[in-house]
Chains A and B, each alone.
Chain A
């Protein structure tokens, strides 16, 4: 970093604390001998400080009534069952009695939960190239990713809501997964190795005829429609 110009390229990283220890020491030495560099550092420091101060003005602003209500709801919310169970047994006169009862109830809860799962076996995992996308399909918004799973775009049809799911990156697969109001279930309508993600998103020339056929009769969903659809599932699964 002997060139003064190179030091100027590092001003932002220096001000943001992103330089390594060695780089920082070298940069500080350069600042001491280059007034123009020192001026640049001073400006960016002032800009960063001023930005923080300018925005923190909102700390002194009263909250909107709507936000106040939301916070009050959070305050009034009861503890989740895990937290409630976590300390509840300690209120027993004899800790041993309490712990024993808690153990019995835990086993009972486990049995009930296994029974409920077996009863709802209809909610089978949606496997796309071996990856379960059942949760992602009901939680991710468009162009949002969770690990290997990305929802590229959503589509709306007559009584159906379809989502284009990409899994496993470029070497993975793409699938159109559709919810049918009539059937009340998700099905994988089309699945194959992707050629190009962008092609699938736009259903353009890079998409296969099979996928284009699957999209026939569907139109891209608006962000509001997608949000409204996800809320249906959120409401169902909120703990």
Chain B
């Protein structure tokens, strides 16, 4: 197996999580990972030896996602947790309180505006620093921080039902 191909395979679990945070659905996430890998294979000649393969793949994925969002009509920017019926459905199935909360977190993340969701995926899910996220997004660090702040406030409002007791 080619060393670069091996690096791509090693990166897939992280890419799946990143894609899941972006798309909000496992099937869409896998489609995005697949498209990213196939694009990376076609562009392998442009990959700079010695640079971080994972960062390169994250960048391809994020750009692919942005392009796909621009190409199609974007989904509504906010999805109300109440509208998903997640809480009641899960409680009927005996899901634990934690599982319900995690589902609410997922729903709230997928309801964030695209720009905020991408920053959340970079910092909260992929574990990138503000500087790394800024470089991958070609944005100033300050913009990354402000988008992250807005995203967290939105998540807080969604998850606490409008309470604002912590900040």
Binding site for B on A (CB under 8 A): 8, 11-13, 16-18, 36, 39-40, 43-44, 47-48, 50-59, 61, 63-64, 66-67, 70-71, 74-80, 83, 135, 139, 141, 144-145, 222-224, 227, 231, 234-235, 237-239
In the complex, chain A residues whose CB is within 8 Å of the CB of B129: 16-18
- With A and B bound together, what is the CA distance between A34 and B135 in angstroms? 35
Chain B residues numbered 12-42 whose CB sits less than 8 Å from any CB in chain A:
12-13, 16-17, 20-21, 26-27, 29-31, 33-34, 37-38, 41-42
Q: Is B3 on the interface with A (CB-CB < 8 A)?
A: yes
In the assembled complex, 29 residue pairs joining A and B whose CB atoms fall closer than 8 Å, in A order, are A12-B145, A12-B148, A12-B149, A17-B129, A18-B129, A39-B166, A47-B156, A50-B102, A51-B120, A53-B102, A54-B102, A66-B31, A67-B37, A71-B9, A71-B37, A74-B2, A74-B5, A74-B6, A74-B41, A75-B5, A77-B5, A78-B2, A80-B2, A80-B3, A223-B70, A234-B43, A235-B42, A238-B41, A238-B44
- With A and B bound together, what is the CA distance between A51 and B13 in angstroms? 16
In the complex, chain A residues whose CB is within 8 Å of the CB of B46: 135, 139
Binding site for A on B (CB under 8 A): 1-6, 8-9, 12-13, 16-17, 20-21, 26-27, 29-31, 33-34, 37-38, 41-46, 63, 67, 70-71, 101-103, 105-106, 109, 120, 123-125, 129-130, 138, 145, 148-149, 152, 155-156, 159, 165-167
Q: Among the listed A13, A52, A66, A227, which residue makes an inter-chain contact with B67, where contact means beta carbons less than 8 Å apart?
A: A227
Task: Establish whether residues A145 and B167, one from each chain, have CB atoms under 8 Å apart when the complex forms.
Answer: no
Task: Establish whether residues B109 and A55, one from each chain, have CB atoms under 8 Å apart when the complex forms.
Answer: yes
Q: Of all chain B residues, which has the CB nearest A237? A: B45
Shortest CB–CB separation between residue A79 and chain B, in angstroms?
A: 5
Q: Among the listed A56, A135, A139, A235, which residue makes an inter-chain contact with B17, where contact means beta carbons less than 8 Å apart?
A: A56
Q: A64-B34, A74-B8 are in contact. Are A55 and B42 (CB under 8 A)?
A: no
- With A and B bound together, what is the CA distance between A192 and B13 in angstroms? 46
- With A and B bound together, what is the CA distance between A52 and B105 in angstroms? 10
- With A and B bound together, what is the CA distance between A79 and B71 in angstroms? 36
Q: A52-B124, A55-B106, A227-B67 are in contact. Are A75 and B1 (CB under 8 A)?
A: yes
Q: Of all chain A residues, which has the CB nearest B159? A: A47
Q: Of all chain B residues, which has the CB nearest A222? A: B71
- With A and B bound together, what is the CA distance between A66 and B33 in angstroms? 10
- With A and B bound together, what is the CA distance between A141 and B68 in angstroms? 13
Task: Establish whether residues A50 and B105, one from each chain, have CB atoms under 8 Å apart when the complex forms.
Answer: yes
Shortest CB–CB separation between residue B149 and chain A, in angstroms?
A: 6
**A-B residue pairs, 8 tightest by C-beta:** A234-B42, A64-B30, A54-B102, A54-B105, A74-B5, A58-B20, A43-B166, A54-B106
- With A and B bound together, what is the CA distance between A36 and B167 in angstroms? 8
Most chain B CB neighbours (cut-off 10 Å) among A16, A54, A235: A54
- With A and B bound together, what is the CA distance between A59 and B30 in angstroms? 11
In the complex, chain B residues whose CB is within 8 Å of the CB of A235: 42
- With A and B bound together, what is the CA distance between A76 and B5 in angstroms? 9
Q: Of all chain B residues, which has the CB nearest A53? A: B102
- With A and B bound together, what is the CA distance between A80 and B138 in angstroms? 31
- With A and B bound together, what is the CA distance between A111 and B88 in angstroms? 72
Task: Establish whether residues B109 and A54, one from each chain, have CB atoms under 8 Å apart when the complex forms.
Answer: yes
Q: A8-B167, A58-B16, A238-B45 are in contact. Are A63 and B5 (CB under 8 A)?
A: no
Task: Establish whether residues B17 and A74, one from each chain, have CB atoms under 8 Å apart when the complex forms.
Answer: no
Task: Establish whether residues A44 and B152, one from each chain, have CB atoms under 8 Å apart when the complex forms.
Answer: yes
Q: Of all chain B residues, which has the CB nearest A140? A: B46
Q: Of all chain A residues, which has the CB nearest B165? A: A39
- With A and B bound together, what is the CA distance between A222 and B21 in angstroms? 26
In the complex, chain A residues whose CB is within 8 Å of the CB of B67: 141, 223, 227
Task: Establish whether residues A231 and B13, one from each chain, have CB atoms under 8 Å apart when the complex forms.
Answer: no
